[in-house]
A and B are shown apart, each in its own frame.
Chain A
Amino acid sequence: MDNKKDVKGFLEFVYEFYKSMKAHEITLVYEGEITHQITKAFTSLTESNMEKDDEAGTVQRKVFHVMVECLQNISKHADDFTSNDYLFSGRGIFLVSKNEDEYSVTTGNAVENDRIEELTEMLEKINKMDKEELKQLYKKQMKEGRLSEKGGAGLGFIDIKRKTGKELEYHFLPISDDTSFFLLTSTISRTEI
């Protein structure tokens, strides 16, 4: 009896979850480890959906760029942590939503608190830069930056801002005394192309 009730409660939750996804116009949501295979699967899925919707080529390319960089940000920074906690093993949440005007790509992953300052500084700096400044920074970073062991080149955020022309919105929410959840949203206009 109790079990039956639990199942019903769970199924009701699933329906609420479904309605909530519809209300927020979420077309893709994933929680778990972000691997190269996952990156390939999500990008090709989104690509074929955009093709079906006759999305403009420019928009398709921009969405693809942003998705790859966002997913790789999570997978490549998995080892930046001193902790072995499962939270840090390249896991995260990944969402794509779409309305009449724009696509949004959102990621969320756990970070150690001592990285917040560095991330905030970097994102603020990139958000303030205009097109030309971003171009110069990208070139400088490409020349002088080194590939990390995981193959990150420190270029992802710069590239996202350049491709979308929009500020990167971000937020840190506390998980514990040492860790926070880092959320990042990038939007790609479907009309201004």
Chain B
Amino acid sequence: METIKIQGTEDTPRIILDADKELLEISGRSLPEDVAAFYEPVLNWLNEYSENPNQKTVFNFKLTYFNTASSKLLLDILMKLEELHEKGNDVLIRWHYPEDDEDMEEAGEEYADIVDVPFEQVAYSN
């Protein structure tokens, strides 16, 4: 399956979607000019991946900032992972947040409330 690697910029996150290396990660800042267009390849990739997923899927979110428009697209990604979990696959979301960022921690808790999928919160020091 094709690998997606997008370098991060000051307003878009770094994205790695590599099924072979079992590396699925979105990190950095997210306030793209056109959120829907930016995340479209990610959602398409997940659709394709879901047809033939790895035995275990661990998706890492390590964002330092995202705007409200991005929050909606992040939920779309989480809902794709929820679907995958509902189909009986082993799925884990790891939500990484800077240890001193309560808002980012809370954002993770909120997503965990909305989607029904194993969800792990991981604090890290800057």
Taking Cβ atoms with an 8 Å cutoff, the residues of A that contact B are 36, 39-40, 44, 57-58, 61-62, 64-65, 68-69, 72, 135, 138-139, 142-143, 145, 147, 151-153, 155-156, 158-159, 163
Contact = CB atoms under 8 A, between A and B. Distances in A.
B110 A61 contact: no
20 contacts: A36-B33, A40-B10, A57-B101, A58-B100, A58-B101, A61-B65, A68-B31, A69-B68, A72-B67, A139-B110, A139-B113, A142-B71, A143-B75, A143-B114, A147-B36, A151-B34, A153-B72, A155-B72, A158-B68, A163-B103
Contacts of A163: 103
Given A40-B11, A68-B31, A139-B113, A155 B100 contact: no
Contact of B65 (A39, A40, A64, A138): A64
Given A40-B11, A145-B72, 12 more contacts: A58-B102, A61-B101, A139-B114, A147-B36, A151-B33, A151-B34, A152-B69, A153-B68, A155-B68, A155-B69, A156-B68, A158-B68
- Dominant secondary structure of chain A at its interface with chain B: helix
A36 B34 CA distance: 10
B35 interface: yes
B103 A61 contact: yes
Interface of B: 10-11, 31, 33-36, 65, 67-69, 71-73, 75, 100-103, 110, 113-114
A25 B35 CA distance: 34
A69 B31 CA distance: 10
Nearest to B114: A139
A68 B10 CA distance: 13
A148 B75 CA distance: 16
Contacts of B102: 58
Given A44-B10, A142-B75, A145-B72, A151 B114 contact: no
B10 A151 contact: no
A142 B65 contact: no
A155 B69 CA distance: 8
A143 B75 CA distance: 8
A140 to B, nearest CB: 10
Contact of A153 (B31, B71, B110): B71
